[in-house]
Amino acid sequence: MKRTFDYKIGIISDTHGLVRPQIVNLFADVDLIIHAGDIGNPDVLKALQSIAKVHAVHGNVDVGKLAANLPKIEVIKVGELLFCVLHDIYDLAFDPAAAGFHAVISGHSHIPTIEKRGGVLFLNPGSAGPKRFKHPVTLAFIYVKGITLEAEVVEVGETT
């Protein structure tokens, strides 16, 4: 089947040390993976890097070397679009639209969310780690075509 987009980006957060086998399968055809923090341990990043290039920020549970080796906020350019990635949306201290961002990706809440504010996509993929609270285990995808983007949240399931 022919791709109808330029880039497919896998978005994940709050893995808390767990990479489920389903995630490896779901991310098999992505061009890039963005991890929005609370990674849990370096093995998570190694597993994701075996699939595609990974951009990651540290979250509040990431400590020591893991936190020291990752930024708190990262700017990623995908094609012509700019993404701002941080763990906790409440740490966003500027207007992303005024700064030229097309998307803001965060985690922390474990609640999957897709919304547009001021022309900027705000995406939280939810939590892909051990099931906590009453939220589903989820991740997300962003599809980029030129200067447009679409996002979807996908429920992963809990077999692991």
Q: Where are the domains of the chain?
A: 7-155
Helix (H, G, I), strand (E, B) or coil at 22: helix
User: What are the tokens at 129?
Assistant: 């780690």
pLDDT at 66: 92
- Tokens representing residue 108 in the block: 């922390």
pLDDT of residue 160: 44
Q: What is the pLDDT along the chain (160 residues), one digit of tens a residue?
A: 577 999 999 999 999 999 999 999 999 999 999 999 999 999 999 999 999 999 999 999 999 999 999 999 999 999 999 999 999 999 999 999 999 999 999 999 999 999 999 999 999 999 999 887 788 999 999 999 999 999 999 999 765 4
Question: What's the pLDDT score for residue 87?
Answer: 98
- 24: how many CB neighbours lie within 10 A of its CB? 13
Strands annotated E in the chain? 7-12, 32-35, 54-56, 73-78, 81-86, 103-105, 113-117, 120-124, 138-145, 148-155
Angle at 79 between CA 128 and CA 9, to 5 degrees: 15
Residues 149 and 133: their CA atoms lie apart, in Å, by 30
CA-CA-CA-CA torsion for 105, 18, 33, 118, nearest 10 degrees? Answer: -10
First to last CA, the chain: 30
Fold of the domain built from segment(s) 7-155: Purple Acid Phosphatase; chain A, domain 2 (3.60.21)
For residue 91, what pLDDT is reported?
96
